[in-house]
Structures are given as C-alpha cells and as structure tokens.
Amino acid sequence: GKTSHAAVVARGMGKTCVCGAEELEVDTKRRRLTTSEGTVVEEGDLVSIDGSTGRVYLGEVPVVPSPVVEYFEGRM
C-alpha cells in the first residue's frame, strides 16, 4: 500500500513504485512479467502508471497536467 516500506522509500527517492502486485508472475531470468490475464510485459516495454490508483497500463497513456504539481513547480 501507500505506506509500505517500498512505497515510502521510493517516494523519498522521487521514484515511482507499485506495491501489492501479487497477481504478477515475475520471471527474472527472462526479464519479463505475466499478468493473471496472460499479458506479458518484457523488459524495455513502455508502461504508464496511475499514481493515484496504482493501475498499470501497457503503452503511453495521455496525461493531464496536475494543477497542484504546476503550482509547486512555479508554473502557475
């Protein structure tokens, strides 16, 4: 979850982290993972992560700039 050790450490490093992905089968030798639905994600594949829900999508998903982020980055 959001307060797990991995999530807290990743957040402190400014990195994205998905926790609680127990439905994924990770193959470290082939460097890929398989979802419970059979989708295979290879090392180097582009994925998009929804930081609010933790959902992971294959490919690039269009985003809308966050007014909160823009404010803190001085763009508003």
Task: Quick: pLDDT tens for 16-75.
Answer: 777 777 888 999 999 999 999 999 999 999 999 887 787 889 999 998 888 887 888 887
Task: Quick: pLDDT tens for 2-18.
Answer: 778 988 898 899 887 77
Question: Environment class of residue 27 by beta-carbon count within 10 Å: exposed (0-12), middle (13-18) or buried (19+)?
Answer: exposed
Please tell me the distance from the alpha carbon of residue 70 to that of residue 55, in angstroms, as a whole number.
23
Residue 32 forms beta bridges with which residues?
A: 27, 42
Sorted by where each begins, the domain ranges of the chain are 22-72
